[in-house]
Structure 1
Amino acid sequence: MYQTEKVSVVVPIYKVEKYIQKCVDSILNQTYTNIEVILVNDGSPDSCGLIADQYERFDPRVKVIHKENGGLSDARNVGMKHATGEFTVFVDSDDWIEKNMIEEMVNSSHKFKADAVQSAFYYAYEDKLLFDHRTYLKNAAPVILNNKRLMYELVKNENVKNFAWGKLFKTVMIRDISFEKGVLFEDVFWAHKVMHRVDTYVLLHQPLYHYTQRSDSIVANYTPKNLDIIKGLKERHRFIEAYYQDLTDESYKAILKMSLIHYNLLLQNRKKDKDGVFRKEIQHYIQHHYKSLERAVLGDRQLKRQLQLFSIHPSLNVLFLVLKKGLRLAKFISKPAGLEQVKS
């Protein structure tokens, strides 16, 4: 087992006093002990700062940084400036990790000479864990991706997620690539720039990360700020056009899928989209890029139908989705493969 290289674990903290101890304990109890844990208190108004300071007093591997609130991206950027390890891992402060996660990742990085390693993960609810068996097979051998395949998987966003968490990076690969401040879904703006540098990427099938699922409803808490994800996908698309032209269609598909989802969310939150400004913006983009989008969805029957219906009138796409949902409930058509519940 390799223990010679230090791993920096960056944990941004804000209003998570309910979760923070479980998170930090899971990091400090790792079988890989050569770590530094950088807790960035992002101006949290609760007791998170005091809890972080207690960890720093009792474990020399913990370093606490207190700063004014600047958001998740700013906290990660500050944490990265203090990272001294050869490897870096990001853990969100309401999540937790399996005790062997870092060990497995470091060993895999050495074994396969990989620049980055990703593990599978659980969707962690208060009363259950869900595992995506559509994408991962728990006992399967690691998957090794070269750069071209990695970028395809990143754009497709099934096997390789845009999330910064759940991955181990060689610090030199990411140190000078900052997270964009002031946006939601900051990982979408960041991941492709990092993966562009990666020659060898390892995908582990073992679920080693617990991704906490809050009970908040996306519909009830939706704001136009959520549209940042489309902004990020469009920024990434320009990068794809410049460096990976053969992935342009796949990138257009990702933008279309997300645009249709958010158009429907805006419909359900009309009061937050006065005069339909944001819906019109989505509609204009789809109309303006229709030919490119049409070519991109040729092999995707459902998405092609949705694009056609939306181009006639956006409400037709909504009716199509409602009808399809009704047919599933009536069991006239089968449900898509879902997540597998495991013991919590």
Structure 2
Amino acid sequence: MPPRLSIVVPVYNVELYLDECLESIAAQTFADFECILVDDGSTDTSAVIAKAFAARDKRFRVVMQENAGLGAARNVGARHASEDSEYLAFVDSDDTMPDYAYERLIAALDETGSDFAGGNVKRFRSVGMQQSWGHRAAFAKTQLKTHISKFPALVTDRTAWNKVYRRSFWDEHGFQYPEGILYEDAPVSIPAHYFASSVDVISDCVYHWRVRETGERSITQRSTDPVSLIDRVTSVRLVREALKAKEGAKYARYLRDYDYNVLSEELPLIYKYVGEGGADFRAAFVKEVGGLVREIGTGPWSDLTVADRLKAYLAREGRVEDFIALTKHQSDYSYSVPVKGLARPQADYPFLQGRPPVPAKILTLGPRERRVVSRLEQAVWSDGKLLLRGYALPGHLGAESRLGSRKMLVFREGGKRRRTVVTARTVASPMATVNSPHLALRHADWAGFTAVVDPTAFQSGGKWNDGIWTTSVAVTGAGGLHRARLKGGESDSGQNPPAHWVTPDVRIVPNATGALTIQVETVRARALDVRPSGEDAVEVSGELAAEIGAGATLRAEHVSTSTVLTFPV
């Protein structure tokens, strides 16, 4: 019988790390695998180590080739995989894996039938491990049978080695890694996400990605090398070509989504090194990045931040010195955007003065810069009314005057159109400025507000009806009206607001987890006392709003594990 899983490990001059890598593969609790070690013309003892390991463990075998690069070695390994193996995976020879990795990924695939599964990644060095920044958003939680169109954060899942592919899916699309370039992972990983019917996302760490501390620098550590820049742009172009080759509105939409990610997340990985790079790096930036921005066009620009939009424009126009001035301004002023104008606020970067003009539509602040930043700082009850204190400001516009920052709270009943508006009083709140590092060039001292909320606002026809009301804060100031959900606080009653009984059996429960909600709740059972009973039990006593029949139980659920216990009443 062929092994269920084929693992390809390209090997090139990794004598310091190879044994550790192979031991982690051999220790996998999913043992039905073959491992193809492709020595890519190593000039150190890597091939000797690989052959010795294969001699000890017959699941491993070695393929030798002249040096052709990582992509070519992966492709050769895939071609040498057993024809009837069910799954295919790749591992880089300086990395390691937890022993449960393949068992976890393949169990998901066996359950769902998805085209491939991917898992979380940690970076490691001699002093320990930490979450891989590039995998944080995509693998924050486990999601089975999902898709990049449902979960756009998967566009950041570019790496080859944290995945297990179903061989039938791999062969159907004829995936091959590009040869002769760096950053060869994305031209397979990203199209695979778009081409898949569904994928399984596993939040558990399945891969340990090494940070090189000795020996040759890894690919991702060559940040100011012009070749690195050129190959990164080439990698993006290959992904775009794969998507453009597919017909239909769906793939046109996918391409636009990917282009937005390129401009907002992929190219910024190059942007931050332009100031450090030499003349060759900057020349490559003008040619390659400027050319790519022109190929993408301005379609995604309206969704970018004003700074990313300006960077795209300056790159397209070849204005490298202005580009570097922008990145320096962001570094010096904590990414704060200097603003001018009230009706249509625009970025007003000082380094652009005396320079060729930039179109107004490039500099006009969009929704991202005007998005309301808010925080509930206090929620208390006084004389039967809910007193709220907090702050709210429209992003980079600040709140520099009392009259220029008026606020109101909008409560909307869930599932209904009914809403209640409460006018808030603007008050000074220096903490709003302290908590807004992006406002290095202005302040938000008048972002504060207080509001008095009569709980009868949550009645319907003078009656209490169970329901949950969302809370939004609307701010009128520069740029017009801005509105967003009121975020919960981080301490005291702003984080844990108290409930309030409005009748003997109805209470109002503010909840500040995430965004503030107000729940109207008719209480049908109330615990009045909890006391020890013997050595291993507690006695709960209370009252019910109605008679109970025989067989009634008390249900207890563990808040962390969701374990449920039931007890007779």
Paired residue for 2:539? none
Alignment partners' CA distance in 1, 2:21 and 2:310: 44
Q: Which of the residues 235, 247, 253 maps onto 2:260?
A: 253
Gap change, CA 1:136 and 1:182, over 3 Å in 2: closer
Paired residue for 1:340? none
Aligned-residue offset at 1:320: 2.3
Paired residue for 2:377? none
Aligned-residue offset at 1:219: 5.8
- How much is the aligned-residue C-alpha RMSD, in angstroms? 3.1
Q: What are the residue-to-residue correspondences of 1:155-166 with 2, within 5 Å?
A: 156-157=155-156, 161-166=157-162
Gap change, CA 1:329 and 1:47, over 3 Å in 2: same
Runs of 5+ consecutive residues of structure 2 not aligned to the other structure? 337-433, 440-569
Contact 2:275 2:324 in 1 (8 A): no
Runs of 5+ consecutive residues of structure 1 not aligned to the other structure? 336-344
Paired residue for 1:303? 308
The farther-off stretch of 172-181 and 122-131 is 172-181
Aligned-residue offset at 1:145: 1.4
Asked whether 1:227 is paired with 2:230, we answer yes
Gap change, CA 1:259 and 1:30, over 3 Å in 2: closer
Gap change, CA 1:194 and 1:333, over 3 Å in 2: same
The farther-off stretch of 87-96 and 141-150 is 141-150
Aligned-residue offset at 1:254: 3.6
Alignment partners' CA distance in 2, 1:308 and 1:206: 40
Q: What are the residue-to-residue correspondences of 1:95-134 with 2, within 5 Å?
A: 95-131=95-131, 132=133, 134=136
Gap change, CA 1:181 and 1:289, over 3 Å in 2: closer
Aligned-residue offset at 1:146: 3.4
Paired residue for 1:174? 170
Greater per-residue strand proportion: 2
Q: What are the residue-to-residue correspondences of 1:14-93 with 2, within 5 Å?
A: 14-84=12-82, 85-93=85-93
Alignment partners' CA distance in 2, 1:260 and 1:209: 25
Gap change, CA 1:299 and 1:100, over 3 Å in 2: same
Contact 1:119 1:208 in 2 (8 A): yes
Alignment partners' CA distance in 1, 2:150 and 2:104: 23
The farther-off stretch of 176-185 and 118-127 is 176-185
Whichever residue aligns with residue 123 of structure 2, its letter is Y
What TM-score do the two structures reach when normalised by structure 1?
A: 0.82
Paired residue for 1:145? 146
Aligned-residue offset at 1:242: 4.3
Whichever residue aligns with residue 437 of structure 2, its letter is I
Contact 1:230 1:255 in 2 (8 A): no
SS in structure 2 of the partner of residue 297 of structure 1:
helix
Paired residue for 2:277? 269
Alignment partners' CA distance in 1, 2:279 and 2:284: 12
Contact 1:185 1:228 in 2 (8 A): yes
Paired residue for 2:479? none
Aligned-residue offset at 1:253: 2.8
Paired residue for 1:135? 137
Alignment partners' CA distance in 2, 1:137 and 1:165: 14
Alignment partners' CA distance in 2, 1:248 and 1:137: 22
Gap change, CA 1:108 and 1:4, over 3 Å in 2: farther
Cα displacement string for residues 283-341 of structure 1 (whole angstroms, at most 9, x for unaligned residues): 64267458x33x30322224224335556733233222222222339987269xxxxxx
Gap change, CA 1:304 and 1:103, over 3 Å in 2: same
Gap change, CA 1:251 and 1:196, over 3 Å in 2: closer
The farther-off stretch of 324-333 and 113-122 is 324-333
Aligned-residue offset at 1:5: 5.7
Gap change, CA 1:320 and 1:226, over 3 Å in 2: closer
Paired residue for 1:285? 291
Aligned-residue offset at 1:227: 1.3
Whichever residue aligns with residue 173 of structure 1, its letter is F
SS in structure 1 of the partner of residue 10 of structure 2:
strand
Whichever residue aligns with residue 232 of structure 2, its letter is I
Paired residue for 2:347? none
Aligned-residue offset at 1:199: 1.1
SS in structure 2 of the partner of residue 268 of structure 1:
coil
Identity over aligned pairs, percent: 20
Paired residue for 1:342? none
Cα displacement string for residues 55-81 of structure 1 (whole angstroms, at most 9, x for unaligned residues): 111111111112111111111111111
Paired residue for 1:315? 321
What TM-score do the two structures reach when normalised by structure 2?
A: 0.52
**Corresponding pairs, count:** 323
Alignment partners' CA distance in 2, 1:208 and 1:163: 13
Greater per-residue helix proportion: 1
Gap change, CA 1:68 and 1:118, over 3 Å in 2: same
Gap change, CA 1:143 and 1:328, over 3 Å in 2: farther
Contact 1:184 1:226 in 2 (8 A): no
